[in-house]
Amino acid sequence: MKIFFAAAAVAAWCSFSAVSAQDVYPSRSITIVVPFGPGSGTDVGARLLAQKLADALGKPVVVDNKPGANGSIAAAFVAKAKPDGYTLLMGTNSTHGANPALQREMTYDPIRDFAPITRVAVFTSVIVVNPSLPVKNMQELVAFGKANELSLATGNASGVVMSETLARQVGWKLLRVPFKSNPQAMTEVVAGRVQSMFTDIAAASAQIKAGTLRPIVVTSKARSALLPDLPTISETAIPDYDLSGWIALFAPAGTPKPIVDRLNAEVTKALLLPDVRTRLLDLGAEPSPMPVADFTRWVQNEVNTWTRLAKEAGIQPE
């Protein structure tokens, strides 16, 4: 009987301690792990959000870039982290969309291994080429890719699916050149060692303004307010083509619900701040937070959608 009461007391103390830890969350710094390199749209969005979360939570929020394997290195790292709310992932449509269709041996499960917190923003993607390439619009790019092998840099899984989907439908001879992240891929396109790439406007805006990259089309169904004169793929090549990137916040599976709910509320409030919204819109990203339950269902749908698109494009897992 004494053993029973002692065990019960220990269990009660542990339960109290867990609740107390959640009540004072956060008590130390939080890390947001980014699956791509500095300068990517994901990185810029994460750093903007980290600053506002630090202000709201009263503790430092740091960004840790872990690029590689289309985001899988970062995702697997966070999936294995302690589920206490102090290690988070700025996931994307690569880590939680395209990767399951592209990787034969996944090092994490995008659904089972994570506690979804909220979507942060949806990014408009753009096809850019090196200015030396003799194309100035989508019709010329389609014709060039049919007559010549078109080299295309990819720095994330969504770029692979977008490019292969388009190549299959327009008949491109595509040579895909993979990199760890979009900034690395973009360096090679600017240098002329690779001819083209799909990227978010946030990552490419400075190079587009400088004239070192030539934008051809955006991948969203509607034109971007940042590049209003640039047509869409839907207008120029494939009716109803509509693929956009996104970033979202995840915690490891098993993170206590009060912590997930607190982070959802704080991120949502941050995304409503005028300066945050303006900054994201300037990057070609639409702030788009969601309640936890809605976001959880949405992520499952994204995994299904990107997997289907990869299969339709004939992409084989590697």
Q: Give percent of the chain with pLDDT exceeding 70.
A: 93
- Is 303 found in the same domain as 164? no
Backbone angles phi, psi at 251, to 5 degrees: -115, 165
pLDDT category of residue 23 using cuts at 50, 70 and 90: low
- Is 140 found in the same domain as 94? no
With the C-alpha atoms ordered 109, 111, 114, 119, is the resulting torsion angle positive or negative?
positive
284 has pLDDT over 70: yes
pLDDT higher at 19 or 282: 282
Considering the domain boundaries, does residue 22 fall inside one?
Answer: no
- Is 257 found in the same domain as 109? yes
Backbone angles phi, psi at 122, to 5 degrees: -110, 130
Residue with structure tokens 């041996």?
105
Phi and psi based region of residue 41 (left: phi greater than 0; alpha: psi -120 to 50; beta: remaining)? alpha
Considering the domain boundaries, does residue 46 fall inside one?
Answer: yes
pLDDT higher at 10 or 245: 245
- Is 166 found in the same domain as 151? yes
- Structural domains counted in the chain: 2
Q: Could you read off the pLDDT of 190-247 as tens digits, one per residue?
A: 999 999 999 988 788 889 999 999 999 999 888 888 889 999 999 999 888 888 889 9
5 has pLDDT over 50: no
pTM, entire model: 0.79
pLDDT category of residue 315 using cuts at 50, 70 and 90: confident
What's the mean pLDDT when you consider all of the chain?
Answer: 89
Considering the domain boundaries, does residue 101 fall inside one?
Answer: yes
Q: Which CATH number does the domain housing residue 100 bear?
A: 3.40.190.150
Cβ(280)–Cβ(42) below 8 Å? no
User: Per mean pLDDT, which range of 75-84, 170-179, 190-199, 301-310 is the poorest?
Assistant: 301-310
Phi and psi based region of residue 58 (left: phi greater than 0; alpha: psi -120 to 50; beta: remaining)? left
pLDDT higher at 311 or 292: 292
Give mean pLDDT, residues 169-178: 91
Domain residue limits at 174: 125-236
Q: What is the pLDDT of residue 97?
A: 87
